[in-house]
Amino acid sequence: MERRGTRVTTDVARVVLRRLLPSWRHPARVVVTAFATVIAMGTLLLLLPAAAEPGAQTGFVTALFTATSAVCVTGLVVVDTPSHWSTFGELVILGLIQVGGLGIMTIASLLGLLVARRFGLRLQLTAQTETKALDLGQVRRVVAGVVLISLAFEAVTSVVLAARLGLAYGYDTGQAVYFGVFHAISAFNNAGFALYPDSLMRFTTDAWICLPIIVAVVAGGLGFPVWVEIWRRRRGRKRWSLHAKITLLTTTALLVVGTVAISAAEWNNPETLGGLGIGGKLLAGLTHGVMPRTAGFNSLDIGQMESGALFVNDMLMFIGGGSAGTAGGIKVTTFALLAFVILAEIRGEPTVHVMGRRLTASTQRQALSVALLSVGAVVTGTLLLLTFTPFGLEAVLFEAVSAFGTVGLSTGITANVSTAGELVLTALMFLGRLGPITLASALALRERTRRYELPEERPIVG
């Protein structure tokens, strides 16, 4: 009922996959293993002397941190990208970003297809080999669609950026194309890696650079399922799914709120928006309304922002972007669904309704679990960073949320958090990218199914 179209379940393919992956019964473990493997390979490649500029040495933690940051499309860096890494090293990073971005989009889209009428995300993940197997055709269509949409956006963005860099800044053709492609891929994948030591701060008022990057960032952040629907509407499909409606509306709302809040907070700050003309203020305000969700480029100095603007950033970074896209955070749907649950509770309604649809108890519980486990991860990370570093709550919380939300913005402390701090951030990026639920499910070994019902009891709440 939920999944239309022909289903060509190929037992052969499943058998092959099971041979290849002994833990295939637990897709969450497969996902974690796959990402860990790519990060390990990236670490090894970045450790090669050829990956660094002549004379530069790459330590193990630096390579691990950078590979994790790239694969998890975060963009936090402990060494300056253009001056530390050679062109080969930059290409490794670019490759890791592309693999990471395509990987998370594909995997999250496939897991989304597996979501069934059952309780508990873990059951859904393990349900695959039982009744809810994806057929190979579906897998192939998703992979093709993800690759297609990624390449399309990256190509268009590359062309605009390269043209601008060549025409307005005098880059020669090869350089313009290289810089255009790198930043286009980094933008669509919400990676936030830049080939400039100060990210986009030299382009603060250049709309021809900032706007294409903003469009690519937002496009990648909407998520593949939404793009599938946008595409289908061209062929006459009129009804939006609940997922697409929530994603589009919440994304729009957060872009407006973020842009207005950060512009207002920074309007007269001489270190950020204060010195710009009205056009520059609007462009940079828009850029910094978009980038916390969760691209991580910056055209203003985050370290000079007001406390209020940093706190708004914290919240935008935590919420993040759309599901099954390149953005991180708890996702806009999780955030919006929780708001609807609370609204129903306040109104005293027995069921939760969202735009004419009913929300199942299991969806509510998933949203709750994702949000609270994420709070737990950020709180734990913040506490560890406070312990291991000399920095105060403001900078440390920002860093922890940025890492967990795979954002990549920083007040400037990333390179100085000590090795322990770097490992904490690495763990947060990995956790934040794969999702606390996925990871927790993968780690949970006990599988208990209670067949009997216990008597219910109501403790006092609040």
432 near K ion, judged by CB under 5 A: no
| Residue 60 or 119 with smaller CB distance to a copy of itself | 119
Structure tokens at 240: 């939006």
Subset of 56-75 contacting K ion (CB under 5 A): 74-75
296 near K ion, judged by CB under 5 A: yes
| Residue 234 or 450 with smaller CB distance to a copy of itself | 450
Minimum CB separation of residue 320 from a copy of itself in Å reads 10
Minimum CB separation of residue 130 from a copy of itself in Å reads 13
List of residues 6+ apart from 327 with CB closer than 8 A: 190, 220, 221, 223, 293, 294, 295, 320, 321, 406
Minimum CB separation of residue 74 from K ion in Å reads 5
Within a 10 A sphere around the Cβ of 156, how many other Cβ atoms?
16
In sequence order, what DSSP letters do the residues of 125-168 get, joined into one string?
HHTTTTT-PPPHHHHHHHHHHHHHHHHHHHHHHHHHHHHHHHHH
| Residue 66 or 326 with smaller CB distance to a copy of itself | 326
Helices (DSSP H) in 223-357: which residue ranges? Answer: 224-234, 242-266, 278-290, 307-319, 332-347
Question: Which is it for the CA torsion 302, 307, 308, 313, positive or negative?
Answer: positive
Minimum CB separation of residue 21 from a copy of itself in Å reads 20
Residue nearest to K ion (CB): 296
Minimum CB separation of residue 114 from a copy of itself in Å reads 11
Residue 296 binding target from a copy of itself, K ion, none, CB below 5 to 8 Å by type: K ion
Sort 243 into a burial class: Cβ within 10 Å, 0-12 / 13-18 / 19+.
middle
Binding to K ion by CB under 5 A, coded x per residue (else -) over 176-195, reads --------------x-x---
Which one, of 70, 131, 44, 18, lies nearest residue 326 by Cα?
70
Residue 386 binding target from K ion, a copy of itself, none, CB below 5 to 8 Å by type: a copy of itself
| Residue 202 or 232 with smaller CB distance to a copy of itself | 232
CA distance 138 to 117: 19
CA distance 59 to 61: 6
Residue 367 binding target from K ion, a copy of itself, none, CB below 5 to 8 Å by type: a copy of itself
CA distance 176 to 178: 6
Specify the amino acid at residue 384: L
Minimum CB separation of residue 165 from a copy of itself in Å reads 37
| Residue 167 or 342 with smaller CB distance to a copy of itself | 342
* Triad 233, 1, 23: Cα angle to 5°: 100
| Residue 235 or 446 with smaller CB distance to a copy of itself | 446
| Residue 27 or 192 with smaller CB distance to K ion | 192
298 near K ion, judged by CB under 5 A: no
Minimum CB separation of residue 199 from K ion in Å reads 11
Contact 433, 104 (CB under 8 A): yes
Residue 192 binding target from a copy of itself, K ion, none, CB below 5 to 8 Å by type: K ion
Specify the amino acid at residue 132: K
Q: Is 206 left (phi over 0), alpha (psi -120 to 50) or beta?
A: beta
Residue 324 binding target from K ion, a copy of itself, none, CB below 5 to 8 Å by type: a copy of itself
Residue 383 binding target from a copy of itself, K ion, none, CB below 5 to 8 Å by type: a copy of itself
Q: What is the CA radius of gyration of the chain?
A: 22
Minimum CB separation of residue 122 from a copy of itself in Å reads 3
Minimum CB separation of residue 100 from K ion in Å reads 10
Where on the chain is the footprint of K ion (CB under 5 A)? Answer: 74-75, 190, 192, 296, 408
